Structure 1
């Protein structure tokens, strides 16, 4: 039985008895109670015996525990006395030995000072001997034999180490200046032989001189000599060329890139060979005379045609890419210690390599503009017939997509995404030229239309001016659609992310401010598009004016017609069926009814001929309502005649599939309300 249950704070006897009874099975209550009481009494007796035994053991052990505690207290007091005694003894010893320890420290300090002084004297003597020896070598001339150069390198290294030892000497600064002067003289003396050895690619001699420079801790001077030797070799080869070109320059630089890298690593012991190689090539390309940029500029001037100039720029890009790819291969070659080249070094090299192309991009714009504008010298544009010249401009507009696409592909071949600012300048020139041609011809069409009006011709759908204006508007619309498609395709091209640092053409070919404006430049509409849109709207208005003119001429007569007033009484009483539409409105109706077949002849589905017809009908209704309102003193018969004309025009407009305007409907209602006997 688990006795923990009886010790719980929330122990409930009734609950416990019920639980015990539920687990007893079918046992009788009296038997269960008797057994439970007996068991509980037995457990009580066992618990009482256990408590008695435990109490007896505790009482018997208390005296022994008290005796042990007293013994521990006495031992603790004795130990404390011994510690106090030891502390007093330590104080005495410290007092007795303190002065002795201070004396030992002082003696050790003096010994160190004496040793340093002795060492300084020896180093001073050594320094003096080395300085005199180096002075003698400089006076007699620096040796060129490898063995003597090795001894000189050891001597220079020893002088550098000796000066470090003498850093605490009073005359250290004088010795440093003296050593710097000796090293400067020595560097001047061995620079020319080192450059000669580097020029001849003599590894053994070069290593000997490099050891001397290393002893002087002047590694940068070695790399400077190496760069001068390398630049001198290339410059001499460049001058020997009869016709220098970028292809020749690439052939001079690219082949020995790996060799120069081996020399930097194994002979010159350079820690950053790739960076030094890029610096060398950067300096070479910037120091050549004549410069590659001047050579390219001169060659471009010799080109007889724009196509030849564009081809030359494409070849120039290919030549530069050859050098870039060679350097990229050297940089990306697997090596034990991967060198991290500073971004500024890469950018300076790329700017120097692409300098001829960068300086030639404005010339590319000029050449590309000439190449695009030569397409506008079309015989169709020289015709006197208005419609044929309009068709010639439409043909030009339709072909512009191919010309612009070819120009963009050439731009990408020459400068990639970086060529976009120069490409759009050329395209803008083309669009501006075509827009000017369309605007000029539009003025001729308008002049012909106005001239026909003076001669009594009412113009309209059958005039020569109308189809000419429609075709001209179609040319402007076609060109706008072409530009929209081209800009959408152009916007999908961009430099890939995470590309090689030497492939970032925008950084090498564009200035920083242009690079910042490039995304905006590609997103903004071209300047020439706005002018083209205005021209298209003007042509749209001109076509509408020509188409509406016969209607406008007839409607302008309305206020002056005599049929609106001064009618006699007998005429006023005429029935409505006796009235017929007047001549002016029947001519308008006949003109409107013939419009669909004529419009289909001149207007393509793209220009929406039924939209033209709907606009003409709407214009007719609105202008008709306006002219009726200008009639003065309309009598009853005049009102009937006007209502007859309105009903006729409304039926014509509805037959054409259009709707009568609200202004004309309201005017008809007002006239009927003002006329007795009239109903809708």
Structure 2
């Protein structure tokens, strides 16, 4: 039987039994009995083995105890010996302490004597080297001179404590200066010709005499002079080329030079950073160009007509060079290049653009005003002018959006404040076109009915509202663009490269106001101007509509109008109201008012977002109604009706005298106007209703029935009707 599975950690009794019995279906009882007997035998064997093992362990215990006791005794003996050794060491230290101190003092004296001896030797050596140097200097052999100076330098290290150490140090520096003066022509020649062997020799020499920084300065100056000379030569050779081409070609020279000099530098100055050295040189070169980039660009700007296009080309050329050079720097650097150094390099590359970003507002404004002058909105005929203004709106907004795009392309959005200045000037200039059209309307107004001028007014008002809608969207786009700037890492870098401190502060202030949700309108003056335009056009429209009404109302204050009723058969106060008929002036006003809605229908009785926007900018009353059908028209009619009622009131109050029939006639005229207004869904004003009531009151009941009316109106009507006060 295989009982190896009994020792398994996951032994399962049931599984083992089922597995043993699965193939013994016919003789299961016998087989089970056999298994039980085998298991009993195994148990017995295990018990016997345990018994024997226990007996062996019991027999070996006395030996283990004896061994443990022996180890304990040996440990005690070792402890006693260690204590004895420690006491012996302490005794030796006590007995020999003075001797060791004496030995230390003697050793110190020996070392001092050796130093003094060596110092005397080096002092003699110094004198010998100084005497030899004069002869070697005459030979102008740089390597021999440097070896002598190196010997003097080593000697000086051992002469620190001598009294004239500082004088000797100054003497050594003077000798190094003489060596440098002798070697400088050859050094310049080696650097200018890129002679690796000669340059390596001078690196060894200058490193040995601790003058490597001075040699690096020679290299810096030589490279700077070479690159500046290349700029001057290029300007002479390429006089017929454009300034942009000059800049592009010179940038190509700088990139090529970087690759060449980086390899050469690493071969010569193996322990120095080529990237940092070349960055220093390029920063110096870019700031020392003669003539400078700004002088070349300024001269070109005076000659080109498309200044923004020219500046875009300059900026793109500069940006391309900066990107290419930074890729080269990152590729050739052994590790991550120094951030401060790369920032200084980028600042030098973009430095010539700062003044043009500062003047961007002026350049963009001039460009926008030039485009504005080409719109040709002002025509000989007024209707053509208004139509041209309507057609120009899309072009104007497209021009503004193009300016927004140019701002990103030329200034990387760093000139956003300048863009807003230019856009405001451009849009205010565009608003002047509307002012001119409005003045033309004012000059063409007539005193009689003039529905053509009225339609032109509404068309101009609709155009102005369309501009307002477009301006709202433009301002929203501008605001979103400002908000997007804060999330762009590249913009944060560019604003420090392209802006002077004042412009940077102004831009940060603008971004802060927008991001913090300050109530700031980027096109505030423009929006205000077009809102005022809407008000002025609306006022002119009202005047065009109201002028005929005003002329008809002038009849009311004429004494001749009421003199005809002085001897009238209608003098009897008991006559009914239908005995009176409205006079011609009021019927003309009524007919005029009834025709007004049909002239408003093309504009206000249908959905018209542009005109709705314009009217809502005029009066809060328009904003209080929905944009549904007829809502805005009803407000305009109410305004005209109020004006009519107020004009009627003013003229009634200017009447000097009214007979009783004239008074009733006037009241009937007011009633007729009331009927007309009711047809239009409008009510008489309270003032006119009070005047109508006061005009109807019989003379003998005037005092009693006039209570509750305006004291001013009561007194005025009493005076014109010659009613004596009971008081």
With the shorter chain as reference, the TM-score category is 0.7 to 0.9
Tell me the equivalent position of 1:582. Answer: 583
How far does the alpha carbon of each residue in 1:496-546 deviate from its partner, in whole angstroms, 9 at most, with x for none?
657369x82222221111111114446553475144443443233222222
Shift in alpha-carbon separation, 1:265–1:596, aligned structure 2, 3 A = farther
- One of 482, 495, 507 as aligned partner of 1:506: 495
Shift in alpha-carbon separation, 1:131–1:500, aligned structure 2, 3 A = farther
Give the superposition deviation at 1:325.
1.0
Contact conserved, 2:357 with 2:415, CA < 8 A, in 1? yes
User: Mean alpha-carbon deviation: is it higher for 520-529 or for 583-592?
Assistant: 520-529
Alignment of 1:55-204 (within 5 A): 107=106, 110-143=109-142, 148=143, 156=149, 159-204=152-197
How far does the alpha carbon of each residue in 1:254-275 deviate from its partner, in whole angstroms, 9 at most, with x for none?
2232333344444324654433
Contact conserved, 1:275 with 1:341, CA < 8 A, in 2? no
Q: SS in structure 2 opposite 1:572? A: coil
Q: SS in structure 2 opposite 1:217? A: coil
Give the superposition deviation at 1:602.
6.3
Q: SS in structure 1 opposite 2:160? A: helix
Give the superposition deviation at 1:184.
2.2
Contact conserved, 2:375 with 2:392, CA < 8 A, in 1? no
Contact conserved, 1:351 with 1:508, CA < 8 A, in 2? yes
- TM-score by length of structure 1 reads 0.73
Shift in alpha-carbon separation, 1:572–1:632, aligned structure 2, 3 A = farther
Give the superposition deviation at 1:547.
2.2
Tell me the equivalent position of 1:462. Answer: 451
Write the distance in 2 (CA, Å) between the matches of 1:213 and 1:158.
14
Q: SS in structure 1 opposite 2:585? A: helix
Give the superposition deviation at 1:666.
5.6
Give the superposition deviation at 1:625.
4.1
Shift in alpha-carbon separation, 1:293–1:638, aligned structure 2, 3 A = same
Alignment of 1:258-407 (within 5 A): 258-269=259-270, 271-303=272-304, 305-306=305-306, 309-333=307-331, 336-342=334-340, 345-361=341-357, 365=361, 368-377=364-373, 381-407=377-403
Q: Work out whether 1:652 is the aligned partner of 2:642.
A: no
Give the superposition deviation at 1:329.
0.7
User: Mean alpha-carbon deviation: is it higher for 597-606 or for 401-410?
Assistant: 597-606
Give the superposition deviation at 1:403.
1.1
- One of 472, 485, 509 as aligned partner of 1:484: 472
- TM-score by length of structure 2 reads 0.69
Q: SS in structure 2 opposite 1:387? A: helix
Tell me the equivalent position of 1:551. Answer: 549
Q: Work out whether 1:235 is the aligned partner of 2:222.
A: no
Contact conserved, 2:357 with 2:414, CA < 8 A, in 1? no
Contact conserved, 2:603 with 2:611, CA < 8 A, in 1? no
Give the superposition deviation at 1:340.
2.4
Q: SS in structure 1 opposite 2:480? A: coil
Write the distance in 2 (CA, Å) between the matches of 1:378 and 1:473.
23
- One of 430, 442, 465 as aligned partner of 2:426: 430
Alignment of 1:200-219 (within 5 A): 200-219=193-212
Write the distance in 2 (CA, Å) between the matches of 1:219 and 1:652.
105
Q: SS in structure 1 opposite 2:159? A: helix
Tell me the equivalent position of 2:23. Answer: none
How far does the alpha carbon of each residue in 1:582-626 deviate from its partner, in whole angstroms, 9 at most, with x for none?
333222221121112223346782214614333223333344345
Tell me the equivalent position of 2:648. Answer: 624
Contact conserved, 2:417 with 2:507, CA < 8 A, in 1? yes
Contact conserved, 2:582 with 2:665, CA < 8 A, in 1? yes
Contact conserved, 2:475 with 2:523, CA < 8 A, in 1? no
Shift in alpha-carbon separation, 1:526–1:379, aligned structure 2, 3 A = closer
Shift in alpha-carbon separation, 1:381–1:175, aligned structure 2, 3 A = same
User: Mean alpha-carbon deviation: is it higher for 567-576 or for 180-189?
Assistant: 567-576
Give the superposition deviation at 1:172.
1.8
Write the distance in 2 (CA, Å) between the matches of 1:638 and 1:271.
113
Contact conserved, 1:264 with 1:270, CA < 8 A, in 2? no
Write the distance in 2 (CA, Å) between the matches of 1:156 and 1:498.
58
Contact conserved, 2:361 with 2:415, CA < 8 A, in 1? no
Contact conserved, 1:397 with 1:476, CA < 8 A, in 2? no
Contact conserved, 1:495 with 1:504, CA < 8 A, in 2? no
Q: Work out whether 1:225 is the aligned partner of 2:218.
A: yes
Write the distance in 1 (CA, Å) between the matches of 2:141 and 2:418.
58
Give the superposition deviation at 1:446.
2.0
Write the distance in 2 (CA, Å) between the matches of 1:669 and 1:115.
135
Shift in alpha-carbon separation, 1:637–1:108, aligned structure 2, 3 A = farther
Shift in alpha-carbon separation, 1:659–1:286, aligned structure 2, 3 A = farther
Shift in alpha-carbon separation, 1:441–1:203, aligned structure 2, 3 A = same
Write the distance in 2 (CA, Å) between the matches of 1:155 and 1:645.
128
Write the distance in 1 (CA, Å) between the matches of 2:690 and 2:128.
123
Give the superposition deviation at 1:417.
0.7
How far does the alpha carbon of each residue in 1:473-498 deviate from its partner, in whole angstroms, 9 at most, with x for none?
44444434333322322233354657
Contact conserved, 2:566 with 2:661, CA < 8 A, in 1? no
Contact conserved, 1:398 with 1:478, CA < 8 A, in 2? no
Tell me the equivalent position of 2:538. Answer: 540
Shift in alpha-carbon separation, 1:567–1:211, aligned structure 2, 3 A = farther
Write the distance in 2 (CA, Å) between the matches of 1:377 and 1:104.
105
Write the distance in 2 (CA, Å) between the matches of 1:516 and 1:274.
33
Q: SS in structure 2 opposite 1:277? A: helix
Shift in alpha-carbon separation, 1:156–1:548, aligned structure 2, 3 A = farther
User: Mean alpha-carbon deviation: is it higher for 312-321 or for 631-640?
Assistant: 631-640
Give the superposition deviation at 1:317.
1.6
Tell me the equivalent position of 2:249. Answer: 248
Contact conserved, 1:195 with 1:228, CA < 8 A, in 2? no
Write the distance in 2 (CA, Å) between the matches of 1:657 and 1:271.
93
Shift in alpha-carbon separation, 1:135–1:674, aligned structure 2, 3 A = farther
Tell me the equivalent position of 1:607. Answer: 611
